[in-house]
């Protein structure tokens, strides 16, 4: 029986971004169904629609073959749909039982019946062999156990369909195996599980069917038995539009950025960078491909001085950047197009002008004695608006009134004209329209070739990374796992296999390319 069906779902966000286009997706009772796709393919949006967090423009949802309208998570829960979020929604200072029964506490004489809450939580945990102590404080639990609490929370509210959003991303291999056993147990009990993951070997091991999304479209549902990991990867990544960028071969000059044995442990104690080494020369674009969350952000933050690292060195134009202030790193030749333009790349409430000159307003030539030189600021901004074709009503307009593409143009304009000879471009075209994306890519290539700057391009967009980069590295779990001397001849299927962990290059294979 069909436990759930989403039919012809189209979701357009208020800024005009179409995240889902006519997606049809169904889950049988008692199956584990994988939902896979690249970042931005529309998986999360589709699940938000199912869980009532977003409303689709078109389409219908059926639960147990009855048409339903889900306008809030509460209604979704009522209909037996439960979601385990990637970032846990738990109260660390409360016990497992308190978290699990939150909002539906058993009562006695108008007071919360703590004993009963503990009892039902413990029974449920034992039934599914979760191995939880209902009286333990959630803050004291391991990440794996916290996830069990989340699942229990959904089950106790009567969830028949469980959505797990990249559940294994935070787990150790042992915890993952344990989770899989429990999910299989749930399947035998008649529950359905929607399993969102990037890790294809897990999908192969656990799931019955797989639905592939690409660029907001559904790329079909297939029984796992008919596919292998490479086949899924092809469906996920498959190149459709190839944006050709005309460029001659690079003539790399002397090294600009040298990264040696960079290692970083993040606040959660996870090693996000593990012995990363590479060199970028004048006049070349080094691309870093990889599934998001494999250390790319930490790499760009470590290089640009936003975060500190455990060991290793980063040298820019021969200067060791360790412990330097960001203002000095910038004057040593660094510019950065950050991943998140709205929280890092600009100040929403300040004007286009303020954002465009934020790195150079206090340079001597841009000041009028001790005062800001408004005329100079205006002429600098005018020139940038013209050169980068930024469309805004006036440069005094707050930048938040601009479209995403134009905001990104302001960021790119500032960073490319800062006088730096090295640029980190982290997802430079994410969420911007095709025209702007093309312009940014061409500009990056032109700057590199004509001005001889060095560029580090980090991108989850495979077309972009293959077209724009000269050399290409692949990052997985904080390591460089593959290196290609010429990006535009790399086979995309092969690349996908390195990204997803099906293959790894040896140090010898990568020698000379790093």
Catalog residues that contact other proteins under the rule CB under 8 A.
304, 306, 325-330, 336, 338, 343-350, 354, 358-359, 361-362, 367, 370-372, 393-394, 397-398, 401
Least distance in angstroms from the C-beta of 73 to other proteins:
24
Least distance in angstroms from the C-beta of 397 to other proteins:
5
Find the radius of gyration of the CA atoms of the chain.
Answer: 25
Please say which residue, 326 or 434, places its beta carbon nearer to other proteins.
Answer: 326
Least distance in angstroms from the C-beta of 11 to other proteins:
20
Helix, strand or coil for residue 347? Answer: coil
Please say which residue, 352 or 495, places its beta carbon nearer to other proteins.
Answer: 352
Q: Give Cα 285 distance to the centre of its chain.
A: 22
Short-list 335, 304, 338, CA closest to 423 = 335
Least distance in angstroms from the C-beta of 308 to other proteins:
13
Tell me 342's DSSP state: I
CB atoms within 10 A of CB 293: 16
Please say which residue, 143 or 326, places its beta carbon nearer to other proteins.
Answer: 326
Rounded Cα distance between 389 and 401, Å, is 16
CB 284 within 8 A of CB 252: yes
Least distance in angstroms from the C-beta of 419 to other proteins:
13
Please say which residue, 109 or 371, places its beta carbon nearer to other proteins.
Answer: 371
CB < 8 Å & 24+ apart, contacts of 57-61: 57/10, 57/11, 57/12, 58/8, 58/9, 58/10, 58/22, 59/6, 59/7, 59/8, 59/9, 59/10, 59/22, 59/23, 60/6, 60/7, 60/8, 61/4, 61/5, 61/6, 61/7, 61/9
Please say which residue, 230 or 347, places its beta carbon nearer to other proteins.
Answer: 347
Least distance in angstroms from the C-beta of 17 to other proteins:
17
Least distance in angstroms from the C-beta of 326 to other proteins:
4
The dihedral built from the CA positions of residue 350, 397, 416 and 471, taken in this order, carries a sign that is positive
Least distance in angstroms from the C-beta of 54 to other proteins:
19
Please say which residue, 142 or 348, places its beta carbon nearer to other proteins.
Answer: 348
Query: Strand 255-265 and strand 311-316: pairing?
Result: antiparallel
CB 219 within 8 A of CB 240: no
Please say which residue, 267 or 370, places its beta carbon nearer to other proteins.
Answer: 370
Please say which residue, 110 or 371, places its beta carbon nearer to other proteins.
Answer: 371
Rounded Cα distance between 476 and 413, Å, is 31
Please say which residue, 98 or 351, places its beta carbon nearer to other proteins.
Answer: 351
Least distance in angstroms from the C-beta of 422 to other proteins:
15
CB 49 within 8 A of CB 80: no
């Amino acid at each position: 029986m069909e436990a759930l069906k989403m039919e012809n779902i189209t979701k357009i966000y208020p800024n005009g971004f179409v995240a889902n286009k006519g997606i049809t997706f169904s889950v049988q009772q008692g199956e584990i169904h994988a939902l896979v796709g690249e970042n931005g393919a529309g998986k999360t949006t589709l699940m938000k629609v199912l869980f009532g967090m977003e409303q689709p423009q078109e389409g219908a949802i059926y639960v147990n073959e009855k048409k339903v309208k889900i306008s809030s998570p509460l209604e979704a829960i009522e209909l037996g749909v439960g979601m385990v979020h990637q970032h846990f929604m738990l109260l660390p200072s409360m016990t497992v039982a308190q978290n699990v029964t939150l909002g539906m506490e058993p009562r006695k004489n108008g007071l919360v019946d703590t004993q009963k809450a503990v009892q039902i939580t413990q029974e449920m945990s034992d039934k599914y062999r979760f191995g939880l102590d209902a009286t333990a404080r959630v803050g004291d639990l391991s990440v794996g156990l916290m996830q069990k609490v989340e699942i229990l929370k959904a089950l106790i509210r009567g969830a028949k369909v469980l959505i797990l959003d990249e559940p294994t991303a935070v787990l150790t291999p042992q915890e993952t195996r344990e989770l899989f056993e429990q999910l299989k147990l749930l399947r035998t009990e008649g529950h359905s599980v929607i399993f969102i993951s990037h890790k294809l070997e897990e999908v192969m091991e656990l799931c019955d069917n797989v639905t592939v999304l690409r660029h907001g479209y559904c790329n079909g549902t297939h029984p796992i038995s008919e596919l292998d990991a490479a086949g899924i990867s092809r469906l996920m990544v498959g190149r459709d539009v190839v944006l050709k960028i005309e460029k001659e071969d690079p003539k790399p000059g002397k090294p600009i950025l040298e990264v040696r044995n960079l290692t970083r442990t993040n606040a959660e104690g996870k090693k996000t960078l593990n012995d990363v080494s590479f060199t970028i020369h004048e006049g070349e674009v080094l691309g870093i491909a990889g599934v998001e969350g494999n250390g790319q952000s930490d790499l760009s933050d470590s290089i640009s001085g936003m975060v500190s690292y455990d060991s290793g060195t980063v040298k820019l134009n021969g200067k060791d950047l360790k412990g330097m202030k960001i203002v000095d790193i910038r004057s040593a030749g660094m510019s950065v197009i950050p991943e998140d333009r709205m929280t890092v790349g600009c100040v929403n409430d300040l004007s286009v002008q303020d954002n465009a000159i934020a790195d150079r307003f206090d340079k001597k030539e841009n000041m009028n004695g001790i005062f800001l030189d408004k005329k100079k600021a205006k002429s600098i901004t005018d020139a940038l608006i013209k050169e980068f074709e930024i469309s805004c009503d006036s440069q005094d307009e707050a930048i938040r009134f601009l479209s995403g593409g134009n905001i990104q143009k302001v960021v790119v304009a500032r960073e490319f004209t800062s006088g730096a000879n090295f640029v980190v471009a982290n997802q430079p075209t994410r969420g911007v329209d095709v025209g702007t994306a093309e312009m940014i890519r061409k500009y990056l290539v032109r700057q590199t070739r004509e001005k001889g700057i060095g560029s580090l391009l980090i991108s989850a967009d495979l077309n972009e990374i293959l077209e724009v980069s000269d050399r290409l590295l692949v990052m997985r779990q904080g390591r460089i796992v593959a290196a290609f001397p010429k990006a535009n001849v790399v086979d995309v299927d092969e690349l996908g296999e390195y990204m997803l962990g099906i293959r790894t290059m040896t140090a010898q294979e990568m020698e000379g390319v790093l």
